[in-house]
């Protein structure tokens, strides 16, 4: 899918997922701190939300896989072109493989949160595996391209492997809001960077094309990547502040009487051991 749409589409998807994760984590963390545990923050509600998230990821992955296979220029499940003695649409197969792992992560997340017969951390481990596989395929994806093309995709790898590392760390530090927000930031970074790639490599008509061999372009792109990261951090901050404000203003309207019924043995999960 070496075209504008092929980068803008995953970009939009990752942006939405990143926003969703930032919102979910912030809201739950704020609710937990304020102990305004209402309907939304109960364990059952959380579980239901996780299931919905898993189903959504699973459906989008299946749709993505089908689109890659049966779209106009897809391989339609043919792997080898016997007539021309070459592999058939390897790019599409690679993208379908990426979707496959995200689908696996989504499916397992649904299974974990509905049946409860597997350790909870499994959903994060498979999310980490999905991110890692995406990065792994991109890593061996860049042979023989122009310098800037390679560099701009390599920068993407930082966001992808950053997301994978964060998800793996969450296996051992589940519920740590900092890791969850960091993961959301990396996801947003990945999404906005896909858009940047689309604009750099396939500029809309009317805009001057980029010189893919100019070194100063490489230096600018590197700086630009940092701006995207700053932007994603700021977005997560804004989402977090909004969630805090919503929970806080909602709390005021809750009668204090109800508060006595809440358990106070809530163990705070983040490592907040100040001296």
Query: Which span sits near a copy of itself by CB under 8 A: 59-67, 70-78, 115-123, 194-202?
Result: 115-123
**Which residue lies nearer to a copy of itself by CB, 258 or 266?**
266
The answer to the question of residue 121 lying near a copy of itself (CB under 8 A) is yes
**Which residue lies nearer to a copy of itself by CB, 8 or 149?**
149
The answer to the question of residue 99 lying near a copy of itself (CB under 8 A) is no
Secondary structure of the chain in HEC code, one letter for each residue: CCCHHHHHHHHHHHHHHHHHHHHHHHHHHHHHHHCCCCCCCCHHHHHHHHHHHHHHHHHHHHHHHHHHHHCCCCCCCCCEECCCCEECCHHHHHHHHHHHHHHHHHHHHHHHHHHCCCCCCHHHHHHHHHHHHHHHHHHCCCCCCCHHHHHHHHHHHHHHHHHHHHHHHHHHCCCCHHHHHHHHHHHHHHHHHHHHHHHHHCCCCCCCCCCCCCHHHHHHHHHHHHHHHHHHHHHHHHHHHHHHHHHHHHHHHCCHHHHHHCCCCCCCCCCCCCC
Site for a copy of itself in 167-186 (CB under 8 A): 171-175, 177-178, 182
In angstroms, give the least distance from the CB of 270 to a copy of itself.
5
The answer to the question of residue 263 lying near a copy of itself (CB under 8 A) is no
Question: Given the rule CB under 8 A, which residues bind a copy of itself?
Answer: 28-30, 32-33, 43, 46, 86-87, 90, 93-94, 97, 100-101, 104, 108, 117-122, 125-126, 129, 133, 136-137, 140-141, 143-144, 158, 171-175, 177-178, 182, 215-220, 222-223, 226-227, 229-230, 233, 237, 240, 244, 266-267, 269-275
């Amino acid at each position: 899918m070496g075209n504008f749409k092929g980068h803008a589409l995953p970009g939009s998807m990752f942006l939405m997922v990143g926003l969703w994760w930032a919102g979910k984590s912030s809201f739950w963390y704020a609710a937990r701190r304020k102990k305004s545990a209402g309907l939304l923050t109960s364990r059952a509600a959380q579980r239901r939300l996780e299931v919905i998230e898993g189903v959504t990821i699973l459906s989008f992955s299946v749709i993505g896989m089908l689109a890659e296979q049966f779209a106009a220029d897809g391989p339609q499940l043919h792997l080898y072109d016997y007539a021309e003695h070459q592999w058939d649409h390897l790019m599409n197969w690679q993208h379908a493989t990426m979707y496959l792992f995200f689908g696996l992560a989504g499916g397992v997340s649904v299974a974990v949160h509905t049946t409860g017969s597997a350790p909870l951390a499994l959903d994060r481990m498979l999310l980490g595996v999905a991110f890692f596989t995406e990065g792994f395929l991109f890593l061996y994806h860049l042979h023989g391209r122009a310098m800037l093309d390679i560099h701009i995709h390599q920068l993407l790898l930082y966001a992808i492997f950053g997301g994978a590392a964060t998800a793996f760390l969450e296996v051992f530090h589940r519920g740590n809001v900092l890791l969850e927000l960091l993961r959301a930031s990396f996801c947003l970074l990945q999404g906005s960077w896909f858009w940047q790639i689309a604009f750099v490599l396939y500029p809309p008509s009317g805009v001057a094309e980029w010189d893919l061999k100019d070194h100063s372009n490489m230096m600018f792109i590197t700086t630009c990547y940092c701006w995207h990261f700053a932007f994603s951090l700021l977005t997560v901050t804004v989402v977090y502040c909004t969630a805090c404000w919503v929970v806080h203003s909602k709390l005021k309207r809750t009668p204090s009487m109800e508060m006595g019924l809440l358990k106070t043995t809530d163990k705070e999960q983040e490592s907040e051991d100040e001296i």
